[in-house]
Each structure stands twice: as structure tokens, then as C-alpha cells.
Amino acid sequence: MDFLNQIKGWFKLGRGDHQRKNNKSVISSRLNLLITVVGILLLVLGGRLFYLQVLNGNAYKAEVKRSDTTIQTNNVQRGMIYDSQGRVMVGNQAHQAITYTKGSNVSSAQLYKVANRLGRYVDVSKNRLTDRNKIDYYLANDAHLKRVEKMAHAGNDSVTSNAAYNKSVTYLENHPDKYSLTADQKNKAKIYAAMSGAYSLSTTYIKETGVTSKELAEVGEHLNQIPGVKIGKAWTRNYPQGTDTQSLTGTVSTTKTGLPDDEVNRLLSQGYSRNDSVGRSYLEKQYQSTLAGSKSQTEVTTTGNNVTKSVTKYAGKKGDNLVLTINSKFQQRVQDILKNNYAAAGNAYSTGVYAVVMNPHTGAIYAMAGIDRDPETGKETVDQVGAINHPIVLGSVVKGATVMGGLMSGVITPTNNTLTDHPITLAGTQKSSWFNHSGGANMAVDAPTALEVSSNSYMMQLAMKEAGFNYKEDENLTMSTKAFTKLRYYFNMFGLGTKTGIDLPGETTGFTGPSNKAHIGSALDLSYGNYDAYTVIQLAQYMSTIANGGYKMRPYLVKEVRGTKANGQLGRVESTTQPQVQAKIPATKEDFKLVHEGLYLVTHGTNAYVTAGKMKDIKPSVSGKTGTAETYYKSHSTTTLSFAGYAPSNDPQVVVALSIPGSSNSDGGANMTMARQIFNAYWKMVQSPKKYENSSN
């Protein structure tokens, strides 16, 4: 009351009696209103304190002391890749690493603080840093965020905090001059980005390779100041048989590269962190779930921001191992054979050379080799999977499928298959066999001889018969476009022009040329392999189907999936790949016998125009088909040289298929030289030839 009297006394000072009387009632009203408002506020505050401390005090105390139990995950060692002989092709090399386990409910400010402190001791300057990473780090500083929000007009009451942040990010993206980072800050920004990309209670690598002893010592000394950071172990891939195998086995992502951009959303949805190691290509990608293993799981109890208890619930499981059908030593030998003989093919305008060695009865791949070449620069790159994704116009090597199509369609039979090789002349256009351009070498040829001398005329006549076209010299080619359909139907049946289903990502179907009436003449080119383009793996599947008597086998590279013993060696077999018959060719034994005879004559025939007589003396005996296709590189005329064959001729154990697109030396026989050396290497390195050395057709 003394205080109120004093206030009233102030109002009385400096006024006349008359004025004081007039204002007395006004002052009293205002004062009473002020006292009432203050009283109401005190009552509300008292009520709120009563609610918090008396009515719900125990509940809020319990909330503060509440313990959360969650599962923390940690990475495990990736499975390894072995060759068919148990040699490690892709292994793991252990490294000391700096890791970070993200706590639950960790704020950006806390991450920023830990990243800045860790950045004093660890250099990750070689890691990738995007503009968005820089901006996020810059805005993690509260002072920077407020300043940018003001410049971006993002801080008004109608904007949510997330919207305000996004608006600030957009502003900096459009005004990069408004922020900058020093080299030291960029290093810390990379650490901040790695930490931000981790899931709650998951462990990620901050630095997985190249950690120096000084970094280990300084981090270890300050672990209590950088919560979540630990010294751990990481693994990177190594290649005991040479890095060329990466072209086949593929590569994995690292903390530097992060998850593949085209897979990031799918992988994040599966629980991966942004900088987890995953397969990026080929076998590593195809068998990612097998090789990745299972992360360890630790039950973590937290009180507030402190970990009070941790119990290992699952120790994790190292990724399972792949055992391939490939013999790594033989694989390298085939790669060397291609490399050593490539120049002899006249490769100035060539785009590469590819080879596949396959078991015709199971589909197992013994070797897959290749070289990609840039004709502009002459640069050559190991490209072993080019055999599944580089379509090539292969030439006459496909004629075995053409003859099989003629037999299955009934236009020729095993007992009635003789036609006359002569130039095919249609309305001023002439197409002919390589040995009979003028018609001076016209001769009767049956199906085996047509393969022996590689008769284009014979194949074109089969195509016209299948399409129901009655050929007459010099008349227009009014043949139906069903000629394309018929030829491709039988080619596809043997694997040409369709995906083989090999256990590698990225396989292509090849290339199919236009099939309308305007291109009807190309149907004749298609019949002898000079139109559509196929891959070398398709060539191997096609020849295997002929070699084994009509079973189209799916090619495969992974023979087994195996675990790991406690000592690190290969463990028990988890699964075994079973040979898969994709189709049984509806042809008779007599049909196949006729084609087998022709393929034997290709390498052992006595006709003056035999095409692969250079392979006659190979032991065990080889049957097969060569191929030449007229091609161009820009304005330069070139020839694609191919070969596909099997050995032994009377009991096929192995198929070799290869192609050299863009050769400028078609007379050198580089395709046969390569095939010959590959067969010899196979019998020396993969399978003993003793049982088959005296074999013949």
C-alpha cells in the first residue's frame, strides 16, 4: 500500500488543487486497471507453476530422466570374389579408420560443433564436396543463418523454419558471392556432410583410408570432446590377380564418391547411409545384397544425450563370397592373346576386340576378355564386358543358324539340300558369294559345302524360299517383309538378337535394322550376317546351342555363393548355380548332324574355297565358322573379322567366340590366329586334352 500511496503522491506533485480534483478520477481508473492486469498475470503464472510442479511435476521429472532404447548399426567386411580355382580375384584390405556414430536427436548445431572440432585433427580434403554441402555447413552456423534469412526475407512469421531454411539455401545458390569457405572450413564442411548423411545410430566412415599416425593419436586423445567419433577399421577392395579384373567384377562406391546418383533413393530406402560402400557396376552391383553382408546391431540405451548402456544383439555377418566359373589365369591369358594379336588385324579404324570362352553344356563362362579402342586417339582400354554390350555386325559366322532355319522351315531337308551358288541379280543389283562375283565359279553346293565355302548365294536363296519368293534373274525383289521375321525368328531361337540372361547388368539385345518394304533387299544381307548386329556373348550362346545338339543354355559367371570360415578362408557352400536350359531347339538330330558336318568342313574341308583351313591341324579337332562383314568407319572401308567354334568336334567341351570390328587387314587371319591360341591355352590351363587328342568328326 505504501507503493500505491507513493504513486498517487507523484500524480499530486506540480499540479494545482483544481487540476488535481479534475484528474483524480481518471488516474484512479487507470491505476486500478493496471493493478487488475498485473494481478491476472500473476494468477496465470501461479496456476501454470502449480500445474507443472504440483499436478504434473513427477511426470516431467520422469520425462527428463526417461531412457530411450534404440538399435545402433555398424558396417561389416564385404564378401570377396574368387576364381574357379579358389584364387582371390577381389579381396579386402584392412585400414585404420575414423568413424562417426550419429546419436539420436542430434541437432545441426551439435553436428557443426563436432565437425569443427574433428576437423582440427583429421584431413579429408580429397573427399567430394558439393555446393550444397558448402551451403549446409555455412548455414549450420546460427549467425550465418540469421544473416542469410534476413537477406533472403525468409524470417517472417508466415514462413515455417523448414521453408525459411530452404529459402536461404536457394538464395545462396543464386548468390554464391554472399558466402565463402576457407580451405580449413571446406575440410570441416566435408566432415559435416559425412556426419549429416548418416542415419540416427548408424556408423559411417569419416576417413576410411590414409589415416596418419598423427591423426590417430590426436583423435584418440580428444575422443571425449567429439561425441560419436571413434577409431575403427575399414576395408577397401584389392585385386591380387591385377586390376584388369575390375572391368568384369566391377567397382564399389567409397565415402568419397557416395552412393551412385542413379541408385541413391532406392538404396537410402533400404537403410544404406549416403557414404556406404555399395556395388557400382557389373558383378559387384549384380550381387550387392550377397556381398554386402549384414550390419552388426547394438542395443543402445540413452538418457538425455548420454549413452548409459550398450549391448551387442547381433555381431553382424561378413558378406558372402562369390566363386566364379572363370579361371583367372586363363582369363588373363585370353586377354593377352587379344592384345598381342590385335595390331596384326590392322586396327587403325577398329573399335575393339572381344572374346568369350564358354562351356556349351552348362553355360559356364571360362573367360570373357575385351579391348575397347578409340579410333580417333588410338587409346585402348580393357573392356571385358564389351562382350555383352557392344553390338557388332558379325558376318558369315551366323550362317549355321541360317541353315538350321532352312531345315526347320522345311525349305531344305537333310536329304534334299543342294542349290547352285550363283550371283543373285535383281533389277540391276547384284549380290554374290565372295568367290563368285562374276558367276565364273557357279557350282552346286549342299548345306555342309555351303558352310565350308561360306556361300552367300546359298543363304540368300534360303531366305527367299522361306519368304515364299520365286527368284527370277533381273526381276524386282517383291519379296514379303516376312523374310525379316522368318530369319530373325530362327536367329533368336539360337540366341542371336536376344539377351542371353547372363548374370551381369547392362546386357544389350544388339541392333535390328529397319524391316520395311523399302529395305527388303537388306533381308538378303541379313541371311548371311551383314545387316543386324549381335554381341559376342550371343555368338557364344548360338554356337554352344549348335555344339550341344539344340539346348540353349543361359551363360553365367557365378558358380557358387560361399560363406567364410573363422580363419578367413572359404566356408560352406550357401548356393550353387544350376545350369539353365532356356529353350530346346525343335530340330531333328539329322538337322544338327548336317550342320555339324558343315562346321567341320569349314576347318577340315578340301574345297578350294574352304575358309578356315589354317585351323585344320589343331588338336583336339576344332569345328567352327569364320565371319567377315563389310563395314565402314567414317569414309574408311573396313572388315569385321569373327570366329565361333567348338572342340573337340565329336564331343564338344568348349566354345570360343570372338570378333574384331573394323579390321583393315582381312587377309591376315587375325581372327583364326586368336582362336587357335585360345583353344591351345584352354587345353593347357583349364582342361586336360589327353582324352580328346585323337578325336575327329
Helix (H) or strand (E) holding 57: helix 57-65
Quote the CA–CA distance of 650 and 346 in Å, as a whole number. 34
Are 195 and 205 in contact by the 8 Å Cβ rule? The answer is no
Using CA atoms, how far residue 45 sits from 40, 48, 330, 432, in Å, is 9, 5, 85, 105
Quote the CA–CA distance of 353 and 632 in Å, as a whole number. 16
- What is the Cα 362 distance to its own chain's centre? 25
Nearest to 647 by CA among 592, 693, 591: 693
Are 504 and 283 in contact by the 8 Å Cβ rule? The answer is yes
Please report, as a single letter, which amino acid is at residue 505: P
Q: Give strand ranges (E) for 374-478.
A: 380-382, 419-421, 424-426, 429-431, 443-445
Alpha-helical regions (H) of 280-417? 282-286, 288-292, 328-342, 386-389, 399-409
* Residues listed for the chain: 697
Are 363 and 580 in contact by the 8 Å Cβ rule? The answer is yes
Are 494 and 585 in contact by the 8 Å Cβ rule? The answer is yes
Could you check whether the bond before residue 360 is cis, i.e. omega within 30 degrees of 0?
A: no
* Phi, psi dihedrals of residue 597, rounded to the nearest 5°: -60, -45
Nearest to 366 by CA among 654, 676, 675, 89: 654
Using CA atoms, how far residue 509 sits from 281, 490, 497, 514, 579, in Å, is 19, 15, 5, 15, 21
Nearest to 540 by CA among 675, 691, 684: 675
Are 384 and 370 in contact by the 8 Å Cβ rule? The answer is yes
Quote the CA–CA distance of 328 and 86 in Å, as a whole number. 10
Nearest to 228 by CA among 323, 305, 146, 322: 305
Nearest to 455 by CA among 435, 469, 428, 473: 435
Which neighbouring-strand residues pair with 413? Answer: 416
Look-up of cell digits 555339324: 596
Quote the CA–CA distance of 440 and 454 in Å, as a whole number. 17
Quote the CA–CA distance of 368 and 438 in Å, as a whole number. 41
Quote the CA–CA distance of 35 and 185 in Å, as a whole number. 56
Task: Give me the helix-helix angle, 399-409 and 482-494, nearest 10°.
Answer: 110
Pairing of strands 654-663, 558-564: unpaired
The residues that are catalytic are 396
Could you check whether the bond before residue 391 is cis, i.e. omega within 30 degrees of 0?
A: no
Are 111 and 196 in contact by the 8 Å Cβ rule? The answer is yes
Alpha-helical regions (H) of 556-687? 589-604, 670-685
